[in-house]
Structure 1
């Protein structure tokens, strides 16, 4: 596949041939629009490194997930540091190819901006966003497409009722007003702590059998446990 650099070992050390895989990992070391700390580009490598030590057996479910999943890791997508548009086009086309081959794409970031490009590959999808921030600014520091505007740009082509934000604990006045007017469903970090089971049940009921694009920004975690993110909150 174009624009990809193989990485060994892949996620979890699992490396099925692409043709046999039903889940396909791609690293996206995107690090272009950071406004506080840079370092997003190291994310894919660090995630793969940590994945080598993960147990794959889920005690609560009584199964080993990798007995059901065939995983292929295609390596890292080529990023042009001075051209977000060109990089975004590669992200979109790569996800379209994987989806078109009836496989599940899993992207390892990289900055959150990649979500804007990747979600364009899907029709009739719910986006479930785990994030400390709402990312709903219309522009930030003169940029219309960046880590602080990514979900606002997603809503340029996705109805607001198709976005669910979980774990938010910070936003600007502009974002709060936009979210209120658009009636975007959101759960704060306090609500998650108080009653996570209820929130999971409500989101599952809302989504039903529709496709879900799950996007996780690591700053959703308490900075006491994940202090090394680009924009800790």
Structure 2
């Protein structure tokens, strides 16, 4: 269970967030500049809210009242960046193993082989990111994140650079993946089409409060 309630003051508006996510997919929909990525970065620990709290399971990740702000590496969160953030000088194999620490070599190889097979990228293990298609890069990014066994997966516009046909296929794969891992997913997009991925869909809404421009996300009917 992910509980998020915070306020973050940005240059052009005040972002107010109030979300509750169980083992389901939550999609945040809104135009560029509406604060979608900021929501993810605050949850992941890359940015700090001005007020509020973020709780994942029994762990408090951030609390302004308790003065808690766990660093990102202690939060147990997987993050898929918009451009996938693969290391171009590393092979697929080494990209996936990059975040795996303190595991015996034999166990590491076992986990690697399992994740390569799960994502159907075993044959790509010795290739470099420049040799991969958009869909293959996404699978590698997902594999690299999920091999660390996160308690929450954040996806920042993961399908934005793909054509419609590929987006449809990868939407299906994300749904299937969620069914296998059974952890909360939070995905942000500016495509209404991708909202169908969500068990819950929240849309960006702009309003005013005491003369300030407020941006918040409200649940769609």
More strand by share: 2
Normalised by the size of structure 1, how large is the TM-score?
0.28
Q: Which has the higher contact order (CA 8 A, sep 6+)?
A: 2
Normalised by the size of structure 2, how large is the TM-score?
0.30
